Amino acid sequence: MVNEITNTNIQLAVIGGAHGIKGEVRVKSFTDDPLAFGDYGNLHDKNGIKYQVIKARVSKNVVVTRFKSIDTREKAEAINGIELYIDRARLPQVEDEDEFYLSDLDGLDCVDEAGAVIGFVKGVHNFGAGDIIEVQQTKGGDAFYPFTKEVVPTVNIEAGTLTLIPPAEVSERDADVQDNSPQAELVEVDGAVSKNDEASTHRQAQSEMEGENNALNKPKVNTGPNTPREGKRKKGNS
């Protein structure tokens, strides 16, 4: 299946409950800079109704927003739950090879290293610990995988595919490399490499080094200051 990019609507925010009595609402923003969801001109809902941001301010995890013509609590309550979009053409172009719009990832075929289709991308989620792709498997059922370079080494939007290596297989590869390494029993201490007599100490040091590497290679999502979170994802390294 080749994924044709036909979705021109990119979701930037969703309206929440009313805030106060003057028509302000709590908005959940999907942009890197929470206030940037209003930087691309008028937003619209699924029915094409336009929403103009008059003013907005960050308050904890939401953006308290005033929209044009929404000036009472009753009007604010009436728009609770509305999803806000803009046309894709008004967003910045993707310049990084590891950066993708979510609408481009949805529906991609997931293939293994041999090229066999094992499912397709059903959705992309973030529950607070990094981006996760939801895959509907050809064998039945859904599975969730971290959107990292190890698990998803390649994405080919034009071909409509992404290569998927389940985390268990990645771990097995790492174990093989460690077992075959001539320095498997060496531990770096203060810049010097020395033989360690305690296998457990080696594993602890190795775990610490891996932890540092993982911290440095955390997935970068939404690299630009005004890049829509719903618009882009950058594949991580861990």
| Chain centroid to CA 140 | 24
| Count of structural domains, the chain | 3
Q: How far apart are CA 78 and CA 75, in angstroms?
A: 5
| Residues 15 and 86 placed together within one structural domain of the fold | yes
What are the phi and psi torsion angles at 193 (to 5°)? -100, 125
| Residues 114 and 131 placed together within one structural domain of the fold | yes
Last residue of a domain, one of 60, 90, 120: 90
- Is there a domain that residue 24 lies in? yes
- Is there a domain that residue 122 lies in? yes
pTM of the model: 0.54
pLDDT score, position 90: 85
| Residues 78 and 26 placed together within one structural domain of the fold | yes
| Residues 129 and 68 placed together within one structural domain of the fold | no
- Helix (H) or strand (E) holding 122, with range, is strand 117-126
| Residues 137 and 184 placed together within one structural domain of the fold | no
Strands 161-163 and 109-111: parallel
- Is there a domain that residue 52 lies in? yes
Average pLDDT per consecutive 10 residues, the chain (238 residues; last block may be shorter): 52 95 95 89 95 95 96 98 91 73 86 96 82 93 93 92 85 53 36 35 43 38 38 53
Q: Is residue 139 classed exposed, middle or buried when 0-12, 13-18 and 19+ CB atoms within 10 A define those classes?
A: exposed
pLDDT score, position 191: 31
pLDDT score, position 5: 38
**Cβ atoms of 79 and 69 closer than 8 Å:** no
Q: How far apart are CA 237 and CA 222, in angstroms?
A: 15
Long-range CB contacts (within 8 A, 24+) of 92-100? 92/224, 92/226, 92/227, 92/231, 94/232, 96/223, 96/234, 98/149, 98/234, 98/235, 99/223, 99/232, 99/233, 99/234, 99/235, 100/155, 100/157, 100/232, 100/233, 100/234, 100/235
The domain of 183 spans: 178-210
- Is there a domain that residue 28 lies in? yes
Return the CATH number at 85.
2.40.30.60
| Residues 185 and 148 placed together within one structural domain of the fold | no
Return the CATH number at 140.
2.30.30.240
Last residue of a domain, one of 90, 116, 150: 90
